[in-house]
Structure 1
Amino acid sequence: MFVEAIERVDPFVRPILSIVRRYGSSEVIPACSTMFFVNEQACAVTCKHVAEQLVNSDSIYQNYLRFLGERRAFLRDRNLARRQEELEQKYNLRQQSIIRIRNQFVNSVDQFTEITYHFHPTQDLAVVQFKGYNQIKYNACAVFLRDNSRIKQGRSLCRLGYPFPEFTNYRYNPDLDDIEWTTEGRSNTPRFPIDGIITRLRAENNEIVGIEMSTPGLRGQSGGPLFDTNGIIFGMQSSTRHLHLGFDIEDREVIVNGRQTRVSNYPFLNVGQCVHVDIIKKFLRSLNIKYYEG
């Protein structure tokens, strides 16, 4: 059903690749998110929570560097363990704290000197503007739905993004005690679509702001487009909501692998939450950013 639509949408949808390191660990954790371009001036739409992570990447690392700078003065102190614990509290560092995030914008622009971020005041929506580029590397632009009366319960729509990171072009550098991108390994990651039907619309302050889908938005699809069989954009994947079904099972005896055992189960329905197309267009208009309708 969505074969041709995916081919139309894919040329302007791009992954944001990230590598993450946690405090006290040398493990490199790969992650993905999604954005899609709305015009030929390198303007893309994504989620606010995705853009905030991009913005905060540098401050997170600077906080860690300040911690290392202060700790260096106590390395020969007989009370190093206590001093380090005090510094960890000062800089809010725990075992699972993120200390380093590095990002790549794959096949978006050839280069950039600056990125400007615009954050929607109430919704999980942001606009990313690349500046200082010579050439764009995406091949088309999003076309947004003009007639919102087509957004009705039961309509089948699809989302596209990058939920499963399979890129491998990164490593931990022990000499620098840092994570880094490399020229070796796989530098891309596969796209992944997921379809569903519209279940409900979400309103705030007497305004329709969101579209609920019968299937979840997968991690990494945040910021990806929601579109119909013609590739027309109806919204943007934002989050997943977990609805308790009430079909709970507690301490029931069942047969598992030929043996009796007791199990409990609390099922939830995972539904996708998408930013409504009208909210996206209204925000772009407020920023005087060109976009297309169809």
Structure 2
Amino acid sequence: MNALLNQLIETHKNDAQKGNVADYIPELKKTPKDLLGISIIDLNGNSYEAGDCDVKFTLQSISKPIVLLLALMDNGESRVFEKVGKEPTGDPFNSIIRLETYNEHKPLNPMINAGAISVSALVKGKNSSEKIDRILEFMRKITNNPTIQVNEHVFESELATGNRNRSMAYFLHDVGNLEGNVEEALTVYFKQCSIEVTAKDLAYIGAVLAADGVDLTTRERLFPKRYCDIVKSYMATCGMYDGSGEFAINVGIPAKSGVGGGIMCTVLGRMGIGVFGPALDSKGNSYAGLRVLESLSSGLSLSIY
């Protein structure tokens, strides 16, 4: 497996030059665009890797399914789905248009920014510090990595430039779909996006999802299977922004991407996959990472369809 992964990295290394690093968050702009790494962890805990799999980067939108799990455990399905829907949008992840035109003024799913902000507000805690501490504690458990932290430089960068997210949050608050203090909710959202991980961490989360919420090391149940199924369904239908349909055809596994360059994948009953390639395509997905996953899925017959 390691030989296959090294071959994939070598084959697709030049694809990173065809994308662009996210520049609307100034700190992300500093990342070298030619990085590329992949990690696989199977359900027996065996780990395989190649390339820049130990390089740290921020979760960004990959935080959305993770925080959704925590919000579901804190509140249950009924309350969460009062605030967000269950349908793909076909729009960019940061689009605001559906909030105004949709008759319920409710985000169509929690994988777009508006929906994720509403979900973050549902995490229990008396203030933003307590909420982000609980998110970090959960992240450390599902990555089996006690060193997970927020990148404060990226957080400050997002806080200073996240005006579109801020406008969504105030609109959601105005129509009753975001509870509590808006700036506190935004602080939680910006901080969850700024949590640092590696491709190995993403592979571990993907493997826990593939094991229906059971930790690979301790065999402890970390979250209910029902909530795991909900999150995997969202990843399959909405996880790759407005490129989710194409990804389903070309790769065919539940996945979630982030503009930090990461992609987290889960292959049901088999493995978790983490990919890192910071140069993005026009939809915000890792350009080289997508090509690596297409080749891997084809070579190992991973598609669930």
When normalised by structure 1's length, the TM-score is 0.24
Greater helix share, structure number: 2
Answer with 1 or 2: which has the greater Rg. 1
When normalised by structure 2's length, the TM-score is 0.24
